[in-house]
Amino acid sequence: MGRYLLNRLILMIFSVWVVTTLTFVLMHSIPGGPFTKEKKLPPAVIKALNKKFHLDDPLLKQYTNYMKGVITFDFGPSFKQRGQTVNDFISKGLPVSARIGFLSILVSLFFGIPIGLISALKHSRWQDYAVLILATVGICIPNFVIATVFIYFFGLKLKLLPIYGLNSWDAYILPVIALSFYSLSFVARLVRSSMLEILEQDYIRTARAKGLSEGVVILKHGLRNGIIPVVSYLGPLFTFILCGSFIIEKIFSIPGLGKYYIESISNRDYTTIIGITVFDTILLVTAVLVVDLIYGLIDPRIKIYK
């Protein structure tokens, strides 16, 4: 166990380093700089700003100094927001994005697993076909399209729900549903496929032959193994929710990490772009490790840390 965690920790550090290096190089490969859009600034002022933020240093020195900051979780100042640092953006935006993401994951699992189970139990019936159609639609349509449709019908036409901000509890409904629509559909299809295979296994027939109730057979013996593919999807699900929330946050004017990230791209705020990217990478590799460890808790037969 200890050796497995050590190897994974080394792999996580390497992954974060690769992402940080690639993002740093790509940002500095783009022609111009963060102050080139400031057309009204004279060259002397731009030169002074570059010197203040050490943008006139050799690229290797800039990279070395930035990596020192990453090690101490100091992602540097913002080039565009005076007196603000990337850490300030993360501390303000992360709680908001975390609430949206956590609720979306809960919705995906809470509805996706039962829907997939019902589809498997009603195989080749109208309920199964209805789930397949809805799941296919949910997977094929991007979440920003769903968000736009929700805003038009439920916000502008029917005026039932708020379409921007998070000033009340009902303001969470549209962004959470729009963000979780794809993952809910995918979870439902995963559970359906897994349960169709499991229900044909010999141990399910044995459990029924022993006289166990159908509910015990399905929930205790079938679903426990049927959700293993869902657990394996939690890592990519976390990534999808995290990245997809940036677009959803922008559409619904939610002050989360996505707001600062998208603004930093349009403003070419290098430190904010790199800092939030690195922070998201750290969250991702940590989530993948946690998911791998959960495998052994769900099914003791799975040994991932030999």
What are 179-188's pLDDT values in tens digits? 898 889 999 9
Structure tokens at 153: 């019908």
304: region left, alpha or beta (phi > 0 left; psi from -120 to 50 alpha): alpha
Q: 138-175 pLDDT, tens per residue?
A: 888 888 898 999 999 888 888 888 888 888 888 889 99
CA 2 remoteness from chain centre? 28
74 SS3 class:
coil
The arithmetic mean of pLDDT across residues 197-224, rounded, is 80
Band (pLDDT 50/70/90 cuts) for residue 115 is very high
- Quote the percentage of the chain above a pLDDT of 90: 7
- Give the DSSP letter of residue 172: G
Closest CA to 75 of 281, 236, 266, 230: 281
Closest CA to 34 of 266, 257, 259: 266
pTM score, two decimals? 0.79
Q: Are 160 and 154 spatial neighbours (Cβ–Cβ below 8 Å)?
A: yes
The Cα–Cα gap between 88 and 176 comes to 25
